Structure 1
């Protein structure tokens, strides 16, 4: 016998009854949130999805509901515990009951949530980002930059209306040492879905003027802890890690470091702490400079005293030095004069000897000597006759002997 056909409502009622009987308890499930939205009544409607680990394709999906009386307690509890907004894209561990409604169909009603699971997933994502940066060789680049000794020109990335920005500037202005700082604001959104894009844009603006600044401060005063997820992204962390100026972060939380805290040069808790860090750094530089100035003054004083004693010693020794120098110079002059005298004597002796030799040669060649040896000179008109052709008959000639003369007539 054939059964009478069921209406759709009747079939759905059977499904509802079967599910209630088969799944009467609550169950803890792991899923990713999708399409999270709440209405004016305070109810939250969302979808739970599961993706294939390899292909990232959806393999399961279910509609979810968090009634207002649960959601107003569950949402702040989750966000305060995790520092993560209750938004699409995060993984959660929730306790649900299985519901089926004849009109609305299958859904999961959330009764509780375990934030530690999401914390673990967030920590895993942070570890994966940090590991990727390390593999790329950029993880510690910003930490390796040297903080300038005088860090006064500060590029500040913050919301222009944030109380933390005002606290930061006031702290710098009213520092007890009277140091002068020059903060310049580069506005950015510090909460919401646009944190990553906005802060990176501000970093690019600072980079275009990097010669005008000594360091970059990223601060966020107040705001919900759940808004910190925007600082846990790979792109923002990579920009901070590779930034050419030291990056100081003070984004207003104490429990966990975000990814950009892990790659920044210096991480502090709050904007006020960031200002105090800069003041302390300047104070340390001032103390060092004072110590160097004291050391230099002491060194100069000692050197001046040393040179004064040396000058006094030289002054006292100067007369003796001058006297010794004069004696040395006199001795050297006497030696030079004696050398000149001896040289002149030697030259004169050689010249005298040579003159004697020449005198002897001249004496030996003189006419008198020749005549004494028996020779004679024949003169005509006072001139020596060397050729008989010079004479004519009747010429008178004079013959000069060693002793006397003979006058003759040529025949």
Structure 2
């Protein structure tokens, strides 16, 4: 508590005591005038009037809380090292304050003293309530923790396992603190094969969360398989950097596992809650991502013994198999491989030698019988087929005689039509056909020019002519004159 605040509060208490003395003096004057003792109610009223004029602000630790359903007010007690004060706060004021009271909180109260006359009890009637100092920060951290937990960022199923033997470890911390030396010393002692990517950032101040997030992005982009976010011890206010919401979401979205080692064993931040692994100290964070050399030696020794035992058993099994194979008849006498097949061939050859002569004799008799049968059947079959072919020939001749005349007439009509349409028939009637040297029929005077040679086809030959000049004839006038 600052000296100026203590002075202000002492002055306020002094003013309150002065007002109480003045009220008491006025009461004494009344007593002297009446010369009668006061009743309990009057005395309590006098005290109540004196106390209710004292309005102060105070800071104390909550030692007990009574907030029962149905009560019109919340009752609690605040204390310090040498005194305790019972307090009460009406429910509407308590709900408006929005502070969930718990034992051990440091709170700042504003209100006035009052006296409950029926019981003779003094209370502090609280008008406003808020957490004092670290308590306010803890409330904000608790609210953020509940929000992120509701979103699932602290779910254990979301957190990823750490790599057993990381080749590259990212370290995000202050380059001037003791934490960086603790981590590097631990990694060098336990797992010197790991390569450390250090991002030196500020771990306190308003810009510290942004710097830590950028450091995480840089080490991940450089190939870190796991990221350590660490810092040494400090007050709760010093560690508030690691309770930043943006930093917490960045840790939750990090593509590689994140291990935090912030402060000491009892310190817990939002970053610890959302990280994949929370270590109590920076040294413990380094130990979490690195196997101990002693454990590696024990692990390799155990694996070597297991491998040697497995290899020995495999060699023994292979030797037993070889020995069993060596005792088999196959490898003792190669003739046994083909003994059964050779005997089968001999038996089949013997059966074949006995069966072939009998089968040949039987087949020879069958051929003789079929020849005799064919000799008897063939003449009748040939005669029957000859008669059938003669009948088919007669039918074909009869049908052909009726079909040919019809097609002969159609052919004659078609030939006459072709003759009428033939250009040779036109030429035979006295016309001629002129063709150019290329063989194209001359249909207009524009197809030739003076000096061109043309071939004129007539009835009995071709005339080779030269064009001396051309003259166009008006065909419409000629046709009209012919019509007249």
Normalised to the residue count of structure 1, the TM-score between the two structures is 0.55
Alignment partners' CA distance in 2, 1:194 and 1:207: 21
1:326 is the counterpart of 2:341: no
1:345 is the counterpart of 2:343: no
Report how far residue 341 of structure 1 moved.
2.0
Q: Of the candidates 180, 193, 202, which is equivalent to residue 193 of structure 2? A: 180
Other-structure match for 1:6: none
Distance 1:206 1:358, change over 3 A: closer
Alignment partners' CA distance in 1, 2:183 and 2:364: 108
Deviation readout 1:186-227 (Å, 9 max, x if unpaired):
121111222222212222323434xx1210001113555531
Question: Is 2:162–2:289's contact at 8 Å kept on the other side of the alignment?
Answer: no
Other-structure match for 2:127: none
Question: Is 1:163–1:222's contact at 8 Å kept on the other side of the alignment?
Answer: no
Alignment partners' CA distance in 1, 2:283 and 2:229: 12
Q: Of the candidates 19, 27, 30, which is equivalent to residue 21 of structure 1? A: 19
Alignment partners' CA distance in 1, 2:325 and 2:286: 57
Distance 1:208 1:360, change over 3 A: closer
Distance 1:339 1:150, change over 3 A: farther
Distance 1:118 1:284, change over 3 A: farther
Question: Is 2:170–2:197's contact at 8 Å kept on the other side of the alignment?
Answer: yes
Other-structure match for 1:299: 310
Other-structure match for 2:258: 247
1:200 is the counterpart of 2:230: no
Alignment partners' CA distance in 1, 2:159 and 2:279: 17
Other-structure match for 1:156: 171
Question: Is 2:325–2:331's contact at 8 Å kept on the other side of the alignment?
Answer: no
Report how far residue 331 of structure 1 moved.
1.4
Report how far residue 157 of structure 1 moved.
0.3
Q: Matches of residues 332-371 of structure 1 in structure 2 within 5 Å?
A: 332-353=344-365
Deviation readout 1:359-403 (Å, 9 max, x if unpaired):
999xxxxxxxxxxxxxxxxxxxxxxxxxxxxxxxxxxxxxxxxxx
Consecutive unaligned residues in structure 1, runs of 5 or more = 1-15, 31-51, 57-81, 83-90, 99-114, 362-411
Distance 1:158 1:151, change over 3 A: same
Question: Is 1:140–1:241's contact at 8 Å kept on the other side of the alignment?
Answer: no
Deviation readout 1:1-56 (Å, 9 max, x if unpaired):
xxxxxxxxxxxxxxx979963766864259xxxxxxxxxxxxxxxxxxxxx99999
Distance 1:358 1:189, change over 3 A: closer
Report how far residue 328 of structure 1 moved.
0.8
More helix by share: 2
Q: How many residues get paired?
A: 272
Question: Is 2:167–2:195's contact at 8 Å kept on the other side of the alignment?
Answer: yes
Other-structure match for 1:262: 273
Alignment partners' CA distance in 2, 1:357 and 1:143: 96
Question: Is 1:251–1:270's contact at 8 Å kept on the other side of the alignment?
Answer: yes
Q: Matches of residues 103-252 of structure 1 in structure 2 within 5 Å?
A: 118-140=133-155, 144-175=159-190, 179-209=192-222, 212-222=223-233, 226-252=237-263
Distance 1:195 1:244, change over 3 A: same
Report how far residue 243 of structure 1 moved.
1.8
SS at match of 2:216: helix
Consecutive unaligned residues in structure 2, runs of 5 or more = 1-13, 21-52, 61-92, 98-103, 113-129, 374-484
Larger Rg belongs to: 2
Question: Is 1:152–1:181's contact at 8 Å kept on the other side of the alignment?
Answer: yes
Report how far residue 346 of structure 1 moved.
3.6
Other-structure match for 1:375: none
1:93 is the counterpart of 2:104: no
Q: Which has the higher contact order (CA 8 A, sep 6+)?
A: 1
Deviates more, 1:185-194 or 1:271-280: 271-280
Deviates more, 1:298-307 or 1:320-329: 320-329
Deviation readout 1:258-295 (Å, 9 max, x if unpaired):
11112212222322222233333676566556544543
Alignment partners' CA distance in 1, 2:273 and 2:297: 29
Report how far residue 315 of structure 1 moved.
1.0
Other-structure match for 1:67: none
Other-structure match for 2:467: none
Distance 1:296 1:18, change over 3 A: closer
Alignment partners' CA distance in 1, 2:297 and 2:167: 13
Deviation readout 1:150-184 (Å, 9 max, x if unpaired):
12311110112223212321222233xx6411111
SS at match of 1:174: helix
Distance 1:230 1:355, change over 3 A: closer
Report how far residue 343 of structure 1 moved.
4.3
Question: Is 2:183–2:282's contact at 8 Å kept on the other side of the alignment?
Answer: yes
Question: Is 1:220–1:250's contact at 8 Å kept on the other side of the alignment?
Answer: yes
Alignment partners' CA distance in 2, 1:20 and 1:231: 49
Alignment partners' CA distance in 1, 2:208 and 2:94: 28
